[in-house]
Each structure stands twice: as structure tokens, then as C-alpha cells.
Amino acid sequence: MFKKFSQWLDSLEDKNEGVENLPSEERRRFLKMGLTITGVFAGGTLLSLVSKVDDVFGSIGGYSERYPYKPHYAMVLRVDRCIDCERCMEACRRTNHVPEYGWRTKILERHIPLGEGEWYREFMPILCNHCNNPPCVRACPTQATYKDSRTGIVRMDYRKCIGCKTCMVACPYDMRYFNEEKRAVDKCDFCWESRLSKGKKLTACAEACPAGVRIFGDLSDPESEVFQMVHSETRVVWVLRPETGARPNVFYTKG
Amino acid sequence: MKRYFIFLLAVFLGCLLIHPPTWSQDEEDYPQEPIIFTKPVKAVIFDHKVHVEDNGLSCDSCHDDPFEMEAGSTQEKPDFNMKALYDGQYCGACHDGDTAFASNTQCARCHIGVLGMKRILGIKEEVHH
Amino acid sequence: MTALKQINPPKNKIIALFYVLGGGALLLGITTGLLSFYLGHHLLYGVTREVPWGLLIVTYASFAIISTGLCIVAAIGHLFKAKTLEPLSQRALYMAIIAILAAFLAIGLELENPWRMAIWMVLSPNLTSNIMWMGLFYAVAVVLMIVEFVLGQLAQRKAAAVAAGLASVASVAGLVGLITDILANSNLGEVFGFINAKPYWYGPFLSIYFISNACLMGFSAIVFFTWAAYSMFGWEMDEPLQKALKTAGKFIGLFAALVLFLLSWWIVNALAGKVFGQYDTAKALVAGPYALNFWFFEVVLGILVPLIAAIVYKGREISAMAWAGLSAMIGGFINRYDLIVVPQTIPHYQQFNVVAPAELATKFYPYVPSVSEFLVFLGALGLICFGFVAGEHLFKGHIAKH
């Protein structure tokens, strides 16, 4: 137990060793040379070739060894490939009948500083993280939102929603909105109702993406692309807001 | 006579306001506003200024090959896509990793996306509750 | 047998004003609330996807906290037989019921589908949900408080032998009611305290803070309402009541000091720790868009006025302490507002240098209460005003006849 604790302490040390911490001088030099930051990583000239998966999850306890659902749906987002064409958003809206005033997935535009007024652009798609420890599910008074015991998808039972909106406040990712027509909170369900339950293999957004940003699959299957990306030795993988302890199943990476 | 002169001057200045003088651009007469491609995906920016002023290209570096003069004509071509660029066509003629950064890197440098397009065109994003 | 002695003519105009304005606001609030169900909350209420909890949740939390405080005050006199405070108990119990009903009114008109609550909280309750436990405990608590109150009233009208029996049943109801009420209040605190998405709330602190505020609100409310009743109706305060109010006045000071202590460390901790969300909230409060709310309402009106009044008058100047109590309640309301709204206005993706889309890239998510929300708030407030004067009439000054 103490060994685990000390491992945990160690993991806190370098938790944030991401691209943001590259010295800006070097970053700019590489950019000027026409190389991407990802290229730098993959080339391994700057950082050692160590996967950060365990660091990300090591800080909140053993996670990557076991996946409790079958299939354990997950998505890996290759952010540096996203070009904000928003075809994913359109496909999602069409497929899931998302009303005008709501959204289930969105693209954020980030300007990541390089120092001295310089920055580079990155588009970051966001969607429900289908957390293993979903704060929304814990907070719901009537189990109107729940973790599907088979697939791990965080779903809604619309008729049970009393509209207290606690789940909306509890979500660290702003992934829930109130659907007036359904008189219930609505959210991404990895297209379970519209596609997966009908035998399709991909979510609408993953299928619509022209740039291969959204890799969707079964994290419990070692043969799957998502598993291999998340467990690659050479790939930096992270999740959003890990400090909340929500343990997302949507991962971010580059390249 | 003097009045007539003032009148002429006023008309002349008025014309300047409506149409900025062209002679200030020298022979390098290129579009000042960036061009935004919306096909095959939304949206890609091309800025003449950066290419001419910062990188010293001249008109005939790119016109009429690989790009026709007429703005927007390129994006109507069916083969105007990333694959063509990787094969050295269109932007890929220079953006090959030697002359300029390669087409398969730094995607968001040229792809400003729907958000970037709306910002440049001044389209107000709708804020929904 | 104690009877109320009339020493001044009742201020009938003010009493009528309480009935008319209170009742009018109540009707207007209920109408607005029902209209919002019909037209859709999104059209009439100012809450958004990013700030889903607004003025009505604030109203609910505020009145629920006042109710818990009054319930505690009532219990000290009734149950724990603290003779000094006993003259306050009956009115405190009554106002605790009125306050929680006002809170229920606000949340009932705030929930999108309150009718589904009655079905699904029973058929499919989530045992890990604080909202579920809070709702359950407050519902049980209000029933028990009403039972205690009704039995207490009946006991006064019966012969001594029967009265003793009824009173002991009332005590049991009162004790269980107090426990459920405190459980409800601590769950209310943990509704926020359990939300790790908002680091300013997260942790066990909120339930401690809420119960401390409940004590401050309870003593403030009872001193204010008792004083208001006696001066409006022109009754004479007898010796035990004056003593009770003076003691309660000292408690106002004590709990104002406690709240000052808790709030200070909360803010200092958040500012110094610079944890995402905590720091931003504290900064918005002390030197940002909510600085007026914080310094003037929360600190000066909510804490310093009652604290200094209690020190200067040693709690003995009843009318001064009554005004100090009102000040504490107003400041307390704004404190609940800031506590609930401001952490929600910190953008979810603020750490990520987001520049677009605009609604997610702002420094603060906007929230301004809509007119409809304000009218429903006034309705809940109206219920308290109306209920207060009606109670004085119906129960004749809440005087226990022995």
C-alpha cells in the first residue's frame, strides 16, 4: 500500500510534462524549420519515448490495466489533425436530431502561446467523455442518467428526468443541455440510440471526419486501434481535467 | 476660377474615398484581403501578403501555374484536395517540406476552420442558452 | 396563562401592506412560474447551459437555510428546555415551516418537471445523489415540523392530562424533525460540496458552512420576526421574551463571528492556492465583477453589521438587533447568490487558451436573473411575508398558554 502511495507521489511530480512545457525557443525553432511539434515528439529528439498514459492515470490509481465494460467504448482524438470543418458537428446534429439551441459535440479553437505574442492554432473537439466515474451519474436523483452496465456509455432515460440540472452543473466538460422537446437533459450517447444499437460500428462524428481525428472503438479489445493508441509506448496521451477524478474514456493525442 | 479648382479638388478627394488609389501598390498589385477557400472543406486561408511581403514571392511564382489568376477558381477543381497537395500540386508545389513546411504538417496553420472563417467574415456566432 | 397586552394601537396599514403585497407577490410569482412551465423555462428564465442554477436555486437554498436555522432555534427552546430561549420556540417553528414552504415553492417552479420527481424519486431513487437525500429529508422534516406544530396547538386546547401526552408526542416529532432537517441541510451543502467540477465548492466545507450560516440566519430571523410582530401589532414584550431576544441577539454576534471566520479562510485559501476555479471565483468576488456583492452585501451587511451591533449593544437593544438581523438575512441571501452563481460562471475550458466559439471563450459566463425569475423570487418572499402576518393573526402572537 505504501509502495502504491509512493508511486502516486512520484507520478505527481511530472504529471504535466506535456507539449506546453517545451521551451518556447526550441518550439519556435522547430516550427520555423517547418516541423510540427508532434514530429519532434515522434522523432524523439527532445523527449524520451515514454508513454504518458500511466502518468495521467497513475495519479488517480490503476486504471489502464482493466476495462470493466465489453465493449468498452472509447474515443481517441488526434487534435493536431482537426481542421474545424465541423462536419462532425453537422453529422451529429443530423443523426441525433439535436435542436438548434443545443449541441452534443463542439470544436474549440485554441491559441497556444509560443512566447512574445506568438501562438499556434489548435482545434480541440469536445464531446461527452463517458467517464468511468461520471460525476453526473452520481448526482442524478432519479437515475435518469446512468452508466450503461454493458457498454459503459453514459446514457439518459429521458422520462425520469426531473430537470433539476444538477448533472449539468456536475459535468466538468459542459456536455449536457436541456432539450425542451424531450423535457429532459440531453447529451452525447456515442450514437448508441441512432447507430451503435442498430449494428453500426462508428459514431456519426467519427464517420464524418475527413481528417481521421476521431478514432472510435473498443478499449477492452487489444486489437482495436483505440487500445493500441492509448497503450502505445511512443505516444503521448492525455485526458481533460484529470484532477476531477472523473476518469474519462475520451483521450487526446497528437499525430 | 479658384472656386472651380476647389470643386475639382473636392471631387478628386471624394473619388479617393470611394476608390483607394491603385498606384500605391506598385507593380505588385495583389489582393489585400486574404482568400478563404470553402471547398472541399471549410475553411482554408491564403494570404497574399504573407507570401509576397514576408516570403518575397512574385506573381509569376504561382500564377498561372499552379494557380489560375481568377480568385476562387481553384477550389472548383475536383482534384483540389490534400492528396493532390501531397503529390506536389497546388500549394504542395512549395509546401513539400523543402521549400516550405510540408502539406501534411501544421494543419491548423492554413485550415482556419469554420470558427476562423466566421471571425474573418465578421459573422456573429449565435449564442444559445 | 399568558395573554398579550396591547400597549400601542396595531399598525394596521403596515399589517395590511404585508397581506396585500405579500399575497400579491405570491400570486404573481405562482402565475409567472406556471406560465414558464407552459411557455418553456428557456424563454422566461435567465439560466443557461453553462449556468443552469440561477436566482431560483439561490432562493431555494437561502430559504431552506433560514428554515433549518429557525428549526434549530425552536429546538433549543422546545426540546432542550433552554428556558431562556423557550419564548421564541413557537414562532420559530411556525416560521421554519413557512420558510421551507417558500423554498419548496421556488424550487418547484424552478424544476423543469417537478411532477416526475414524485414518481421517480420513489420508483428509482439514486442513493448516491445528494439532491435525492436533500429532497427526501426536507420533505420528511417539513411533515414532522407540521406535526409538532399542530400537536403543540392541540395541546394548548386540551385538558392538562391529554396535553402532556400530546406534548410528548410533539417532542418526539420535534427531535426527529430536527435531525432530519439538519441531515437535509448538510445534504444541501454537499449538493455543492460533492461537485468536483467546481473546485470552489468541492470538499466537506460546504456542509459546515451551510449549517453555520443556518444558525446565524435562524437567530437573525427570529429576533427580526418577533420584534416585527410585536411592534406591528403593538403588543407588550414581557420579561421572559425580552430576555430571550437579548440572548438571541448575542447568538447573532457569535454566529456572525463564526461565519466571518469560515468565509475568511475560504477566500484566503482560494486566493493563495491558485487552484483553477477556486482562485478565479475568489478573485471575481474580492476584486472582480462581484466585488460589490461580496464586500458590501456579504461582508458588511451579512457579517459586520450584525457582528458590530451585537458587540456595541451587547445584544440588548432589541430593535437594533432586529434591524441587524434583517441586514444579516439580506447579506446572507447575496452570499448564497454569489456562492451558487459565481463558481458556475468560470468557463469549463478556461485553462485551455480557448479563443472561439465566443460563448465558451469568455472570461466569465454571463448570468443575469430574468424578470420572470425575479418575480418568482418575489413570490417566495411574498409567501414568507403573508405567512408571517397570517401566523400572528391565526395563532395570536404564538403565545403558549399554560
List chain A residues with pLDDT less than 50.
Answer: 13-23, 26-62
For residue B112, the chain C residue with the least C-alpha distance is C356
DSSP states of C159-191: -HHHHHHHHHHHHHHHHHHHHHHHHHHHHHHHH
Cα A154 to Cα A187: distance, rounded to the nearest angstrom:
9
Cα C207 to Cα C245: distance, rounded to the nearest angstrom:
27
Q: Is B123 an interface residue toward C (CB < 8 Å)?
A: no
Q: Is A123 an interface residue toward C (CB < 8 Å)?
A: no
**pLDDT value, residue C386:** 97
Cα A85 to Cα C334: distance, rounded to the nearest angstrom:
44
Chain A 167-206, residues with CB within 8 Å of chain B CB atoms: none
CB A228 within 8 A of CB A107: no
**pLDDT value, residue C365:** 97
Give chain A's domains with CATH numbers.
2-132+188-253 (3.30.70.20)
Q: What is the pLDDT of residues C31-77, one digit of tens each?
A: 999 999 999 888 999 999 999 999 999 999 999 999 999 999 999 98
Domain ranges of chain C: 23-398
Which of B93-102, C58-67, C139-148, C319-328 is predicted with the least confidence, judged by mean pLDDT?
B93-102
Q: Of the candidates C42, C47, C358, which has its C-beta nearest B127's C-beta?
A: C358
**pLDDT value, residue A49:** 35
For residue C359, the chain A residue with the least C-alpha distance is A108
- Average pLDDT on B25-46 reads 82
Sorted by sequence, the CB contacts under 8 Å of residue B96 that are 6+ apart come out as B88, B102, B103
**pLDDT value, residue A27:** 47
- What class does CATH assign to C23-398? mainly alpha
Cα C134 to Cα A162: distance, rounded to the nearest angstrom:
15
Q: Of the candidates C42, C48, C356, which has its C-beta nearest B115's C-beta?
A: C356
Q: Is C38 an interface residue toward A (CB < 8 Å)?
A: no
Q: Which residue has the higher pLDDT, C189 or A33?
A: C189
Q: Is A162 an interface residue toward B (CB < 8 Å)?
A: no
Identify all chain A residues contacting C41, using CB atoms and an 8 Å cutoff: 163, 178
For residue A163, the chain C residue with the least C-alpha distance is C112
Identify all chain A residues contacting B115, using CB atoms and an 8 Å cutoff: 84, 107, 109, 123
- For residue C357, whether the previous peptide bond is cis, meaning omega lies within 30 degrees of 0, is yes
For residue C260, name the pLDDT band (cuts at 50, 70, 90).
very high
Q: Quick check: C358 and B128 CB within 8 A?
A: no
Chain-centroid distance, C-alpha B32: 7
Q: What is the pLDDT of residues C151-174, one digit of tens each?
A: 988 888 877 888 888 888 988 999
Question: What is the number of other CB atoms lying within 10 angstroms of the CB of residue C134?
Answer: 21
Q: Quick check: A166 and C131 CB within 8 A?
A: yes
Cα B108 to Cα B87: distance, rounded to the nearest angstrom:
20
Domain ranges of chain B: 26-121
Q: Quick check: C124 and A174 CB within 8 A?
A: no
B26-121 has CATH 2.60.40.650 classification: no
Q: What is the pLDDT of residues C219-255, one digit of tens each?
A: 999 999 999 999 999 999 999 999 999 999 999 999 9
**pLDDT value, residue A14:** 42
Q: Tell me the nearest-neighbour CA distance from A20 into chain C, angstroms.
A: 10
Q: What is the pLDDT of residues C285-296, one digit of tens each?
A: 999 999 999 999
Question: What is the number of other CB atoms lying within 10 angstroms of the CB of residue C348?
Answer: 22
3-state helix, strand and coil shares in percent for chain C, rounded to the nearest 5: 80, 0, 20
| Interface residues of chain C, partner chain B, Cβ below 8 Å | 42, 47-49, 356-359
A33, A85, A98, A118: which to substitute to probe chain B, counting the most B Cβ within 10 Å? A85
Q: Quick check: B125 and C358 CB within 8 A?
A: yes
**pLDDT value, residue B10:** 67
Q: Tell me the nearest-neighbour CA distance from B30 into chain A, angstroms.
A: 25
Grid coordinates representing C7 are 400597549
Grid coordinates representing B19 are 476608390
Q: Is A42 an interface residue toward C (CB < 8 Å)?
A: no
Q: Is C39 an interface residue toward A (CB < 8 Å)?
A: no
10 Å CB burial of residue C118 (0-12, 13-18, 19+) is exposed
For residue C399, name the pLDDT band (cuts at 50, 70, 90).
confident
Q: Tell me the nearest-neighbour CA distance from C359 into chain B, angstroms.
A: 6
Q: Quick check: B125 and C49 CB within 8 A?
A: no
Question: What is the number of other CB atoms lying within 10 angstroms of the CB of residue C18?
Answer: 21
For residue C128, the chain A residue with the least C-alpha distance is A138
Grid coordinates representing C288 are 472582480
Q: Is B97 an interface residue toward A (CB < 8 Å)?
A: yes
Whether residue B22 is predicted with pLDDT greater than 50 in this model: the reply is no
Question: What is the number of other CB atoms lying within 10 angstroms of the CB of residue C17?
Answer: 14
Those chains having 3 or more beta-carbon pairs within 8 angstroms of chain A are B, C
Whether residue B24 is predicted with pLDDT greater than 80 in this model: the reply is no
Q: What is the pLDDT of residues C114-129, one digit of tens each?
A: 999 989 999 999 999 9
